[in-house]
């Protein structure tokens, strides 16, 4: 098989890239080691920046998001027993949309299928080859038969544990990492959300977040020790602990119910430099991971794909390599700003081992300044709604 761009990974990054390239007449094939159902079963992010929504609109996959997504103009920060609203729309003119990553993936899957484009699921032993030459290729096995795709470029959109980054020589790559000493215990429940907007809470017992997927499906998170196991958190214990960390108004509005999904996720910041290796590019979680506190993971994947698609369009339209040569630097400039913002949000909202006495007072002073300073509120809002591409 021959194609212009071989995309490894059928998550939102790979699917969005495939649609952007198709829109520009650039042939591409997507390889995914899992089944479509498995991909759609992964519960992930649920907040979209306007730039991400615009990209979905560009490829004709945004209609359902506009019908079903919840547009939010602000968020609430809770500390010291009180809630404080940050009006992001007033500060920036922009909003965010609550719309699950699973739904984004489904919309992009349907768009690819409708366009009749090739996506190979359950592709085993996917391996990129010769990406440091002018003739890269990707091999994979399907139904016991080995296949090869000759291509011009390879896009590694296969996540943190994928084969793309793992195929790069260690001497050619540098990684930066910060592992946080706690995790997020999250549950999904068929209950109405406790508030119309997200509530981020700094509490002596630990961080909590109240969010939603729709007006009848809620998502809640609690900071928990890294060594906790999901079996230690039956639903009753989760709801009791959440109530301890919320303000009284939120407790009064909280509707508890059976969890339909429950998981514990560790938090880390991780960045790979560069994001280009010859004729292979990394995008999304294959290149960087951020704590979910700043809601940047999916949105960073979208901005990576925006830059990469533009670079490949430039290459094929004008035979100029300027875009692909500059892809890594351009993407990383935005990535590091989002990493900084996510680290900062995490640092002011969570209880760290040394967050006692002085550390706790510094957090409260930071939060108090944040909600009472127009400049600080504007800075938070600008980063939260998404920096421009």
One domain, residues 172 and 290:
yes
Q: Which residues pair with 5 in a beta bridge?
A: 28, 153
Please state, in angstroms and rounded to a whole number, the distance separating the CA atoms of residues 36 and 122: 9
Domain shared by 301 and 358, yes or no = no
Amino acid 50: pLDDT: 97
Tell me: do 141 and 166 sit in the same domain.
yes
Same domain for 54 and 132: yes
Q: In Å, how far from its chain's centre is CA 177?
A: 17
pLDDT in tens, 148-181: 999 999 999 999 999 999 999 999 999 999 999 9
The active-site residue, picked from 220, 307, 315, 384, is 384
| d(C-alpha 368, C-alpha 66), whole Å | 35
Q: Same structural domain for residues 11 and 150?
A: yes
C-alpha span between 211 and 233 (Å, rounded): 19
pLDDT value for 42: 76
Kindly report the average pLDDT of the chain as a whole number.
Answer: 96
Task: Tell me if 294 is assigned to some domain.
Answer: yes
Query: Do 103 and 56 share a domain, yes or no?
Result: yes
Active site residue 147: no
Catalytic residue among 203, 288, 296, 350: 296
Q: Are residues 213 and 282 in the same domain?
A: no
Same domain membership, residue 260 and residue 209: yes
Average confidence (pLDDT) over 94-101 = 96
Asked if residue 87 belongs to a domain, the reply is no
pLDDT of amino acid 353: 87
- With 0-12 CB in 10 A as exposed, 13-18 as middle and 19+ as buried, what is 337? middle
72 is catalytic: yes
Mean per-residue pLDDT for 351-375?
A: 92
**DSSP E strands: which ranges in 130-173?**
137-142, 145-150, 153-156
* Spatial distance between the Cα atoms of 100 and 36, rounded to a whole number of angstroms: 16
From 99, 140, 180, 200, the catalytic residue:
200
Nearest to 9 by CA among 285, 317, 309: 285
In a domain, 358, yes or no: yes
DSSP tag of 2: B
Catalytic residue among 72, 288, 306, 350: 72
Q: What is the CATH number of the domain that holds 196?
A: 3.30.9.10
Q: Let me know if residue 89 belongs to a domain.
A: no
Query: Measured between alpha carbons, how far is 93 from 95 in angstroms, rounded to an integer?
Result: 7
Q: 334 lies in a domain? A: yes
Q: Are 12 and 298 in contact (CB under 8 A)?
A: yes
Q: Based on the domain organization, do 14 and 133 belong to the same domain? A: yes
Tokens 């944040």 sit on residue: 370
* Encoded tokens for 30: 């997507």
Domain for residue 317, yes or no? yes
**Which residues touch 315 (CB under 8 Å, ≥6 apart)?**
321, 323, 324
- In 145-290, which ranges are E strands? 145-150, 153-156, 174-189, 199-201, 208-214, 217-224, 259-273, 276-277, 280-282, 288-289
Instruction: Please report which residue ranges of the chain form alpha helices under DSSP H.
Output: 12-23, 36-40, 50-58, 63-68, 88-92, 101-114, 163-166, 235-245, 248-253, 297-318, 322-349, 358-372, 374-385
Q: Is 121 a catalytic residue?
A: no
Alpha carbon 286 to its chain centroid, in Å, reads: 11
Instruction: Note whether 23 and 110 are same-domain residues.
Output: yes
Same domain, residue pair 263 and 273: no
The answer, yes or no, to whether residue 318 has pLDDT greater than 90, is no
Band of pLDDT at residue 355, cut at 50, 70 and 90: confident
Active site residue 292: yes
pLDDT digits (tens, 9 = 90+) for 14-39: 999 999 999 999 999 999 999 999 99
62: in domain? yes
Q: Name the active-site residue from 99, 292, 307, 327.
A: 292
> Measured between alpha carbons, how far is 177 from 184 in angstroms, rounded to an integer?
18
Identify the CATH number of the domain in which residue 18 sits.
Answer: 3.50.50.60
Residue 35 sits in which domain range?
5-71+96-177+268-346
Per cent of the chain over pLDDT 70 is 100
Q: How many domains does the chain have?
A: 2
For residues 23 and 138, state if they share a domain: yes
Does residue 76 lie within any of the structural domains?
no
């Amino acid at each position: 098989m021959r194609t212009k761009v071989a995309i490894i990974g059928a998550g939102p990054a790979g699917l969005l890239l495939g649609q952007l390239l198709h829109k520009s007449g650039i042939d591409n094939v997507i390889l995914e080691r899992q089944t479509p159902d498995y991909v759609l079963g992964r519960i992930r992010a649920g907040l979209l920046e306007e730039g991400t929504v615009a990209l979905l609109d560009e490829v004709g996959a945004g209609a359902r998001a506009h019908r079903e997504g919840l547009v939010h103009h602000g968020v609430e920060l809770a500390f010291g027993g009180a809630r404080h609203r940050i009006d992001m729309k007033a500060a920036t003119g922009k909003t965010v949309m609550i719309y699950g990553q699973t739904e984004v993936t489904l919309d992009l899957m349907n768009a690819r299928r409708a366009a009749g484009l090739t996506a190979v699921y359950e592709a085993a032993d996917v391996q990129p080859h010769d990406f440091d030459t002018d003739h890269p290729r990707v091999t994979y096995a399907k139904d016991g038969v080995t296949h090869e795709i000759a291509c011009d470029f390879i896009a590694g959109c296969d996540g943190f544990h994928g084969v793309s980054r793992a195929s790069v020589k260690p001497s050619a790559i540098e990684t930066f990492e910060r592992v946080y000493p706690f995790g997020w215990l999250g549950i999904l429940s068929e209950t109405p959300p406790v508030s119309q907007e997200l509530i981020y809470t700094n509490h002596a017992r630990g961080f909590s977040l109240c969010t939603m997927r729709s007006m009848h499906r809620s998502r809640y998170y609690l900071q928990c020790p890294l060594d906790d196991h999901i079996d230690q958190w039956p639903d009753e214990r989760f709801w009791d602990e959440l109530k301890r960390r919320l303000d009284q108004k939120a407790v009064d509005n909280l509707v508890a119910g059976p969890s339909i999904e429950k998981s514990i996720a560790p938090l880390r910041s991780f960045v790979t430099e560069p994001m280009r290796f010859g004729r292979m590019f990394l995008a999304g979680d294959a290149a960087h991971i951020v704590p979910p506190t700043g809601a940047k993971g999916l949105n960073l994947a979208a901005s990576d794909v925006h830059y990469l698609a533009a670079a490949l369009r430039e290459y094929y339209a004008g035979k100029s390599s300027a875009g692909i040569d500059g892809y890594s630097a351009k993407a990383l400039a935005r990535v590091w700003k989002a990493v900084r913002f996510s680290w900062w949000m995490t640092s002011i909202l969570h209880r760290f081992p040394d967050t006692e006495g002085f550390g706790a007072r510094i957090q409260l002073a930071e939060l108090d300044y944040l909600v009472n300073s127009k400049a600080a509120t504007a800075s938070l809002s600008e980063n939260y709604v998404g920096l421009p591409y």
